[in-house]
Amino acid sequence: MKYLYGASIQGIQDFIFSTGKLKHIVGASELIEALCKDKKDEFLENHKLEAEIVVAAAGNIRLIFNSKEAAETIYLHFPKFVNDTAPGITVSQAVVQADDEIGQEHFNKLEQLLKAQRNNRTRPTDIGLSIVRRSQTTGKPAVRVEDELLDLATDRKIEAGKDSKMRLLEKLGAVADKNKFTDNFGYIVDDNKGDLLAVIHADGNGLGKIIQQISASGQNIAKLMGMFSTALDEATASAASKAFKEIIVPATGKYYPFRPVVLGGDDLTVVCRGDLAIPFTQKFLGYFELETKDKFKGMPELCDVFKNGLTACAGIALVKPSYPFHFAVSLAEELCSYAKKATRECSSLAFHLELGGYIDSYEKIVERELTAGSYKFNFGPYYLRSKPKIDSLIDAAKILKKCSPLKSGIRRWVSELHRDVNSARIMLERLDDVASEKYGKDIKEFEKALKELLPEQPGAEKLRHLLSQNTDRNPAYDLLTVAEIFNREKE
Please spell the DSSP secondary structure of 384-412, one letter per residue.
SSSSSBHHHHHHHHHHHHH-HHHHHHHHH
pLDDT at 146 (0 to 100): 73
Q: Are strands 197-204 and 312-319 parallel, antiparallel or unpaired?
A: antiparallel
The count of C-alpha atoms lying within 13 angstroms of the C-alpha of 385, restricted to the half-sphere facing its C-beta, is 10
pLDDT at 68 (0 to 100): 94
- Orientation of helix 440-453 relative to helix 404-417, angle to 10°: 60
pLDDT at 491 (0 to 100): 41
Structural contact between residues 488 and 275, judged by C-beta atoms closer than 8 angstroms:
yes
Rounded CA gap, 422 and 468, in Å? 12
pLDDT at 249 (0 to 100): 94
Cα distances (angstroms) measured from residue 491 to each of 182, 252, 259, 281: 19, 9, 20, 22
**Range list of H helices, 47-137:** 68-85, 104-118
Of the candidates 318, 365, 321, 314, which has an alpha carbon nearest to the alpha carbon of residue 340? 314
pLDDT at 46 (0 to 100): 95
Rounded CA gap, 300 and 54, in Å? 19
Rounded CA gap, 344 and 239, in Å? 19
Q: Taking the model in full, what pTM does it have?
A: 0.89
Task: Judge whether 2-118 and 195-369 match in fold.
Answer: yes
Would you kindly state where each structural domain of the chain is located, as residue ranges? 2-118, 195-369, 390-485
Rounded CA gap, 353 and 137, in Å? 27
**Buried/exposed code over 14-27 (b: 16+ C-beta within 10 A; e: otherwise):** ebbbbbbbbbbbbb
Cα distances (angstroms) measured from residue 285 to each of 251, 316, 392: 20, 13, 16
The amino acid that residue 278 corresponds to is: I
Cα distances (angstroms) measured from residue 241 to each of 232, 253, 263, 276, 395: 14, 18, 10, 15, 25
Give, in words, the CATH class of 2-118.
Answer: alpha beta
pLDDT at 305 (0 to 100): 63
Rounded CA gap, 444 and 483, in Å? 17
Local confidence pLDDT in tens for the 491 residues of the chain: 899 999 998 888 888 887 778 888 888 888 888 888 889 999 999 999 999 998 888 788 999 999 999 999 999 999 999 988 888 888 899 999 988 788 888 888 998 999 888 877 666 666 676 767 777 677 777 877 777 788 788 888 888 877 645 788 888 998 888 889 988 888 898 877 778 999 999 999 988 777 777 766 666 778 888 888 888 999 999 999 999 999 999 988 889 999 999 888 889 999 999 999 999 999 999 999 999 999 888 776 665 666 778 999 999 999 998 888 889 999 999 999 999 998 888 999 999 998 876 677 888 999 888 999 889 999 989 999 998 999 999 999 999 998 888 999 999 999 999 899 899 999 999 988 888 888 778 888 998 999 889 877 766 678 888 888 888 889 999 999 999 887 654 44
SS3 128: coil
Structural contact between residues 251 and 188, judged by C-beta atoms closer than 8 angstroms:
no
Rounded CA gap, 116 and 93, in Å? 10
Tell me the chain's radius of gyration from C-alpha atoms.
Answer: 25
pLDDT at 164 (0 to 100): 46
pLDDT at 175 (0 to 100): 85
Structural contact between residues 465 and 382, judged by C-beta atoms closer than 8 angstroms:
no
Of the candidates 339, 52, 213, which has an alpha carbon nearest to the alpha carbon of residue 44? 52
Cα distances (angstroms) measured from residue 12 to each of 16, 91, 262, 438: 6, 10, 10, 55
Architecture of domain 195-369: 2-Layer Sandwich (3.30)
Of the candidates 191, 269, 211, 251, which has an alpha carbon nearest to the alpha carbon of residue 13? 269
